[in-house]
Amino acid sequence: MKIIITVLLLLVLPIVNNARYASFDATKAISADIYTAVKLAETGLGRNIFELAIKGLKRLESNGKLLNPTIVTIADYSQSSNKKRLYVIDLKNMKLLFNTYVTHGRKTGEEYAKTFSNVEGSLKSSLGFYITEHPVMGSHTGFSLVINGVEKGINDNAVKRAIIIHAADYATKGFIKKYGRLGRSLGCPALPPELNKPIIETIKEGTCLFIYNPDSKYIGSSSLLN
């Protein structure tokens, strides 16, 4: 009897293991299909960045943190601020909904984002994964979106720091033409005024926002990526 059970286990275990790896490969394949279908390479967004965003989104979804896991927003702070480095992607319908400018913090860098902080008053951007919440009407920023940083020690002071998505006149092509680079915020990912409300209405209430930079400290310490 023991011999029969042992033989059965030897036969079943490879099937279980193969099923697990097949599931992982399928997830990666789905990401690759979306990346290709949406033609994200043509927009300047690297495949590796997109895959990191999907990895974090899937973990948040599996933990029941997202109300709407079909939308992902990526701010690629590895790119020049003069590039359209914000991407809002409809994963379900495989569409790039928005691709536009987005600012980084005043003390994070000039044209390029270089240093990051989770500290109140730092005037720096914070990397990592956020979950969008509800729109608010700011006294200085107007129609804005609360974003909740969910990575402890990395961006979890976002609400306390009043880091929000809002419109800014310095987040425009005209500003770049005049000053040679996009303007900078107090740490918020600010958007062109004409796209601010449409983007907020699209990503509000429980979608994933990923602010990326190839910062080794962040990449090595993110619980959602490791």
- CATH number assigned to the domain comprising residue 90: 2.40.440.10
Residue 23 lies in a domain: no
Residue 7 pLDDT grade (very low, low, confident, very high; cuts 50, 70, 90):
very low
Instruction: Please check whether residue 127 is in contact with residue 155, taking contact to mean a CB–CB distance below 8 angstroms.
Output: yes
Residue 22 has pLDDT above 70, yes or no: no
Q: What is the pTM of this model?
A: 0.87
How many structural domains does the chain have?
A: 1
pLDDT at 27: 52
Beta bridge partners of 63: none
Residue 121 lies in a domain: yes
Residue 127 lies in a domain: yes
Query: Which tens digit of pLDDT belongs to each residue from 79-129?
Result: 999 999 999 999 999 999 999 999 999 999 999 999 999 999 999 999 999
Residue 93 lies in a domain: yes
Q: Which residues touch 75 (CB under 8 Å, ≥6 apart)? A: 85, 86, 87, 102, 189, 209, 210, 211, 212
- What residues make up the domain containing 158? 56-221
Residue 118 lies in a domain: yes
How many CB atoms lie under 10 A from the CB of residue 176?
19
How many CB atoms lie under 10 A from the CB of residue 30?
13
